[in-house]
Structure 1
Amino acid sequence: MLEAATVRAAEPFTGAGRTTVGTSVRVEHLRATPVGGQVEVTAEPVPGAAGRRLTFVVRAVDGSGELVARGEIDRAVVDRERFLASAQA
C-alpha cells in the first residue's frame, strides 16, 4: 500500500512516456492493525524533489488515528517502453 501511494505521488514528476520504478524501501512498522482494519496511507515527496531520483516520506495510519508505519521509499524516473522491453528480455 505504501509503495502504491508513491506511484500516485510520483505522477507529477513523470512526463509522457515516463514512469517510475521503486529502488529502495526503508519502512519502520510500529504497531499491528487487525485483519480487515482500516489503514490510510500517504506519500509526500521530500522538499526539493526533482530529476530522475525521487524520495517520498510515507506514513500509514489506522482507523483509530494511530501511526502504524513510517519511512521513506525511493523511485527512479525511467522511459516506460525501454523499461518494459528490458523487463521482458
Structure 2
Amino acid sequence: MERGKSLRVDKIVESSDSAAALGSGLLDVFSTPAMVALMEKSAHLLAKSMLPDNQDTVGIELMIKHLRATPVGSSVYAEAELVEIDGRRLDFKVTAYDDKGEIGSGRHTRFIIDPVKFMNKLN
C-alpha cells in the first residue's frame, strides 16, 4: 500500500445511469448514485491493485458532493487517490469529471477483508 497512488475509471453516461432510470430524480442526467458507483469503483480497483489475491475491500463510508449535472451521452471519469492507511482501513479522495470539469468530489473509506471469511460470516 502506498499513499498518493491514484487510479482513473472512464465511462460514457448511458440512459441507464440517469436519475430518471435509477429513481433518484426525474431528469435524464448522470445520477448521483451512478456517479458515486463510479467513484467507488475507482477506489476499489485501486485498492485491489495493491492487495494480494486473497484479499479484497468493502466500502464502509461515503461523503460525496454532486456539484453539476452531466447529460446522457457524455464522457465522464472518476479518480481515486489513496490518502490514508490505518491498519485495514483505507481512505480515498474521490473526484468525478466530465468534459467541462469537476462534477463531484468527496471521501470514501474501504476496509480490507478476506473474502472467504467475510462470506462465511454471512451464512
TM-score, scaled relative to structure 2: 0.64
Aligned length: 86
Q: CA RMSD in A?
A: 1.5
Does the Cα contact within 8 Å between 1:20 and 1:78 map onto a contact in 2? yes
Query: In structure 1, which of residues 13, 18, 21 is the aligned counterpart of residue 58 of structure 2?
Result: 21
Matched, 1:57 2:120: no
Query: In structure 2, which of residues 100, 112, 115 is the aligned counterpart of residue 77 of structure 1?
Result: 112
Residue of structure 2 in register with 1:5 after alignment: 42
Higher relative contact order (CA 8 A, sep 6+): 1
| Structure 1: gaps of 5 or more residues | none
Deviations 1:16-35 (A, max 9, x none): 31110000010100000101
**Structure 2: how far apart are the matches of 1:50 and 1:80?**
20
Deviations 1:47-68 (A, max 9, x none): x52520000000001022x100
The structure with the greater share of residues assigned to strand is 1
TM-score, scaled relative to structure 1: 0.87
Greater than 6 Å deviation, 4+ residue runs: none
Does the Cα contact within 8 Å between 1:52 and 1:76 map onto a contact in 2? yes
**Structure 2: how far apart are the matches of 1:50 and 1:16?**
20
Does the Cα contact within 8 Å between 1:28 and 1:71 map onto a contact in 2? yes
**Structure 1: how far apart are the matches of 2:50 and 2:115?**
14
Query: In structure 2, which of residues 54, 68, 79 is the aligned counterpart of residue 31 of structure 1?
Result: 68
Task: Give the aligned residue type for 2:76.
Answer: V
Percent of aligned pairs sharing the same letter: 34
Range with bigger deviation, 11-20 or 66-75: 11-20
| Structure 2: gaps of 5 or more residues | 1-37
